[in-house]
Chain A
Amino acid sequence: DVKVTQSSRYLVKRTGEKVFLECVQDMDHENMFWYRQDPGLGLRLIYFSYDVKMKEKGDIPEGYSVSREKKERFSLILESASTNQTSMYLCASSAHGDLAEQYFGPGTRLTVT
């Protein structure tokens, strides 16, 4: 079974802190994604990566950066957390090639106070 894990289920941080959200997948998938989920807005893509050290902006990259140093790990970084970044963050991975389903982690609910 594909497994995507995220470092924390719940996280509380203060405004201005640097925040790291970690995601690890064990299926040797090339593609990895970070989304945020907000009520009434669905899932919105923040960043994605199609290979090690490769990254592309999604629809809402402002205030975020990412790192992919190893194939199995994709990190989302909030350089200076703000209250409007309070949200549920979901990581996903998928294989290359033809359109493939994405496998999701359990999510991290981040609260910035």
Chain B
Amino acid sequence: AQKITQTQPGMFVQEKEAVTLDCTYDTSDQSYGLFWYKQPSSGEMIFLIYQGSYDEQNATEGRYSLNFQKARKSANLVISASQLGDSAMYFCAMGNYGGATNKLIFGTGTLLAVQP
């Protein structure tokens, strides 16, 4: 069965520092994708970054990068130069290629608090 595990219920980071949010996954499929979403207190889920299982380079989007270690089945999100607006819940998710429905399974989330 597929599973996403986020072991950090909450994290603190000082403004302008980097922070790593952990995500491990379990799947027997060879073709899959990993996503990170941000959920501010307003509730809306915001897509941040995507990594395909066959992508050789780690994905980056501005201050977000995904540290993809396929052999360890981990897909950690790195946020550089944290800002107060980064305070939010962060979810890791996984989906599989080959289907039409793009179903995703989500982890339980990590609540990040950025301190001034």
Contacts and interface: CB of A to CB of B under 8 A. Distances in A.
Contacts of A40: 9, 108
A25 interface: no
Nearest to A97: B100
| Interface size bracket, B side | 20 to 34
A106 B33 contact: no
Nearest to B45: A104
B30 interface: no
Interface stretch (A14-22, A72-80, A87-95): A87-95
A50 B50 contact: no
Interface in A2-53: 9, 30-31, 33, 35, 40-45, 48, 50
Nearest to B50: A101
A39 to B, nearest CB: 9
Interface string B2-24: 00101001000000000000000
B108 A90 contact: no
A31 B94 CA distance: 16
Interface string B43-63: 111110010100000000000
Interface in B50-79: 50, 52
B45 A92 contact: yes
B47 A42 contact: no
B28 interface: no
Interface string A41-67: 111110010100000101000000000
A92 B43 CA distance: 13
Contacts of A97: 100
A96 B101 CA distance: 6
B43 to A, nearest CB: 4
- Across the A-B interface, the 10 shortest Cβ-Cβ residue pairs: A104-B45, A107-B43, A42-B108, A43-B106, A99-B33, A42-B106, A94-B102, A50-B101, A101-B47, A106-B44
Interface of B: 4, 6, 9, 32-33, 35, 37, 42-47, 50, 52, 91, 93, 95-97, 100-109
